[in-house]
Copies of this chain bind each other. A is one copy, B any other.
Amino acid sequence: MREKTNKACTISNIAEYAQVSRSTVSRVLNNVNTKVPVSAATRAKIAEAIRHFDYMPNANARRLSHNKSFIIGLQVPAHHLSRYVFTDYNLIGAMHGLEAALLPSDYKLLLLFQSEKYMQKHEYLSLLKSKSIDGLLIWGATCGDHYDAALADYPVIFLNSLPAGASGFEWICHDNHQGSLELVGRLIEAGARRFRYLSGPLSNSISLDRYCGFREALAQAQIPFDEERERWFGDFHRDSARALTAPFFETSGDLGFDAIVCSNDMMASGVYDAATAAGRQPGKDFQLAGGDGADDCAQYPLKTFRSDRFALGFRGINRMFELIDAAGPQEPRQEYLPVQVQL
């Protein structure tokens, strides 16, 4: 650092230089939202003083008076930092939405990594209680996560997936159940009867919701399904899905199924690779469906339902603003964002 030009410059310096009171300076600084008028002459004097000192109000003092930090926390699972995270196009898409919604506001985003220690110390609660953050967005909760019920007293929104017992909390998710229900319904209409299901981890509410939608579609058509034998488990990623399903195509005869539904597009694309490598043609030899509408899988001709990730982030921030601005307690709102089936 060069010479410290950071001569502490406070509102008092400005007031003195402009020969007005601190209150008046403060009023000018916040002129936007105050009803108290300030004369043009005074405004000019203060503007000049601010220019002279190159003054910038102290954010922490402002935070104290407002009893607000103007910061929203975004908690992400630690594994989202792994190599795979970056493949979390859902998070990335949502981030675009967060960014867009935050831009015109005074708020900033604090990135919180959900480590072991962090959860044990209930740090998410501490941050809220201490007013270190004004609200918390929780991305990618899994049913193994336990959150303190006191969290419901604060502006907190679960995004995209839910922990167990989320009924008392506020959340926004894609309508995975409905998407899966519709999508599978279409497959049935198209003639599919013998299904296989490649599920993501059931600790994830997304897998669960999609699977339930799948089962409901089958039930409506009175198609039986043997969970034990006809459901397989993957990890949301392409490589493992490819490896896992390759053996099922190692036959020249009847495959034993006429449709594979996967928890997401990444896995479906893995299945696609495995099938084509074995000379089978998805869409012809059997139906292949995923979920998400992932750009990374755009080159694969998958049946899927598309979720609007940008909207999730955008809506998350704007709903957060509502919660923060709401003076009193709010009934937790739980919102499903519509998805669009794409064949």
Contacts and interface: CB of A to CB of B under 8 A. Distances in A.
Interface of A: 1-6, 56-61, 63-64, 67-69, 71, 74, 78, 81-83, 85-89, 92, 95-96, 99, 103, 108-113, 115, 117, 126-127, 129-132, 150, 152-155, 168, 295-296, 323, 326, 328-330, 332
17 contacts: A1-B154, A1-B326, A3-B153, A3-B329, A4-B328, A56-B129, A58-B64, A59-B130, A60-B132, A63-B64, A81-B92, A81-B99, A86-B86, A86-B92, A99-B113, A103-B115, A109-B111
Contacts of A85: 86, 92
Given A130-B58, A130-B59, A4 B103 contact: no
A71 B113 CA distance: 14
A242 to B, nearest CB: 13
Given A117-B103, A153-B5, A96 B81 contact: yes
Given A56-B130, A329-B3, A111 B110 contact: yes
A97 B110 CA distance: 17
A58 B2 contact: no
Given A3-B329, A63-B63, A109-B110, 16 more contacts: A1-B153, A1-B329, A2-B168, A5-B153, A6-B129, A58-B64, A58-B67, A58-B131, A59-B132, A60-B60, A60-B67, A60-B69, A74-B111, A78-B99, A86-B87, A86-B92
B71 A110 contact: yes
A132 B60 CA distance: 7
A130 B57 contact: yes
A123 to B, nearest CB: 10
Contacts of A88: 86
Instruction: Quickly give the copy total for this chain.
Output: 2
Nearest to A60: B63
A329 B4 contact: yes
A3 B154 CA distance: 10
Given A86-B88, A153-B4, A61 B64 contact: yes
Contacts of A130: 56-59
A81 B1 CA distance: 31
A131 B58 CA distance: 6
A113 B117 CA distance: 28
A152 B5 CA distance: 11
Contact of A81 (B95, B127, B330): B95
Contacts of A330: 1
A329 B1 CA distance: 5
B89 A83 contact: yes
Contacts of A69: 59-60
Q: Identify which of A6, A56, A59, A127 gathers the most chain B CB atoms within 10 Å of its CB.
A: A59
A113 B115 CA distance: 24
Contacts of A131: 58-60
Contacts of A57: 130
Contacts of A296: 83
